[in-house]
Amino acid sequence: MTAVIQVKPGIGDVIWHLPFVRAIAAAAPDGQVTFFAPPTSAARDLLAAEPRVAATVYFQHAGSEWQRGINLVRLVALLRRHHLQSLWILDRTIRPALAAALAGIPERIGLGLGPQSAFITNDGIGQEHFHDHPIDWLRALMAAMKVPLSSTEPNLQVPIALLGAVGERFAQFARPWIAIGIGASHPDKDWSDATWSEFLRALRAPGTVFLVGGPANEALAEEFISVSSSGQIVNACGLRLIEAAALLRLADLFIGPSSGPLNLAAAGGTEAFGLFGSTPVLTYS
C-alpha cells in the first residue's frame, strides 16, 4: 500500500497538494493512495469524492515540543497499523520521515532537504531548492522520481448532486455571482476589518455578492453587510466546507486573500483575484 503524508494545516494546503497526490497515486500499484493530514486541513471532507484517494487519515502534528514528541510516538503507531510499503513525505520536515523509519516502512520518499535526508530511502532533490516555494519542491521531486505530472491544476472533485443542490438553493439570486473570501488562517494574510468595510462600501457590483469564510466569520460578515452599499449581499459563511466549494465553483468571480476560499475557487476553475502580502504568490492557476 502506498500513502502520502502532508503536514501543513490549512484547507488550501490540501488543494495545492492534490495534483501531486494524484500523480503519485497514478504511479502506485493499485492506482490509489492513503492520504495522511492534520484534521485542521478538512481533507476528509474535501477529498470524499476524489477517486485517487482510497482513505484520508488524520494525525496531529503541531503543538509544544512535548506535544510534538507525543504526536511522533502516536504517528509511528498509526503508520504501523496501516502496514505501508511506501510513504511519500511532501514536506522537508523531519518528524514524518523519522516516524516512517521507526514504523519500518521500507520505501520512504521525501525531499531530502536538510536533516530529513537521513531518514528517506531516495536521493531527494538538490539543496539548491531549499528556499523554493513548496510547489516547486514537489515539481522537482516528481521529476527526480520520474513520476509524470500532467498538470498542477487541482480540479477538486465536487459531487454533481451537491453542485445541483447548491445552485438550486441560490437560484433566486441574480447573476453574476461574485464571491468574496473574508478571514484567513493568520491575520497578516488578511485585510483589516476597516479595509474590508471600505472595499464593500465602494463596491458597485451587478448581480449578487456572496461572503464566504466559514462559520467563524458569520458575525463579521453580518457587520460587513450592514455597512455595505452594494445591492445584494448574501452571508454564505454558514455553509459546510464542501458546500462552499460548490458555491465557489458556481461563482463567476472570486476576490480574497491567500486562504482556503482562494484555493477552493482556483480548484473550481473560477476566475480569481488573490490578495497576497505576507506569503508568496501561488504558482498555479
pLDDT tens track for 50-60: 999 999 999 99
CA gyration radius for the chain?
A: 20
Confidence grade of residue 189 (pLDDT, cut at 50, 70, 90) = confident
* b/e burial code for range 113-127 (CB count within 10 A of at least 16 → b): beebbebbbbebbee
- Closest to 179 measured CA to CA, from 121, 75, 260: 260
Residue 229 confidence (pLDDT): 67
Res. 164: pLDDT tops 80: yes
- Tell me if 180 sits within 8 A of 212, measured CB to CB: yes
DSSP assignment, residue 213? S
- Closest listed residue to residue 227, CA positions, set 204, 200, 206, 209: 200
- Which pLDDT does position 65 carry in this prediction? 87
Neighbours of 229 (CB within 10 A): 10
Provide the grid cell at 196: 474590508
- Is pLDDT of 190 > 90? no
Tell me the pLDDT of the chain averaged across its residues.
93
Q: Which one has a higher pLDDT value, 240 or 277?
A: 240
Q: Which amino acid is at 232?
A: Q
Closest CA to 54 of 115, 117, 3: 3
Q: Are 212 and 239 in contact (CB under 8 A)?
A: yes
C-alpha dihedral (38, 42, 47, 53), degrees to nearest 10: 10
Give dist(CA 125, CA 115) in Å, integer: 13
C-alpha cell at 218: 458569520
For residues 70 and 47, what is the distance between their CA atoms, to the nearest angstrom? 27
In the chain, what is the greatest distance between 2 CA atoms, to the nearest angstrom? 61
Tell me the C-alpha distance between 108 and 184, whole Å: 33
Confidence of residue 15 (pLDDT cuts 50, 70, 90): very high
pLDDT at 230 over 70: no
| 15/148 Cα distance (integer angstroms) | 19
Q: How many CB atoms lie within 10 A of CB 166?
A: 23
Q: Are 133 and 280 in contact (CB under 8 A)?
A: yes
Q: What is the pLDDT of residues 35-88, one digit of tens each?
A: 999 999 999 999 999 999 999 999 998 888 899 899 999 999 999 999 999 999
Q: Which residues pair with 57 in a beta bridge?
A: 36
For 80, half-sphere exposure in the C-beta direction (CA atoms, 13 angstrom radius) is 12
CA 80 to CA 82: how far, in whole Å?
A: 5
| pLDDT the model gives residue 18 | 96
Give mean pLDDT, residues 174-197: 89
**Percent of the chain predicted with pLDDT > 70:** 99
Model-level pTM?
0.89
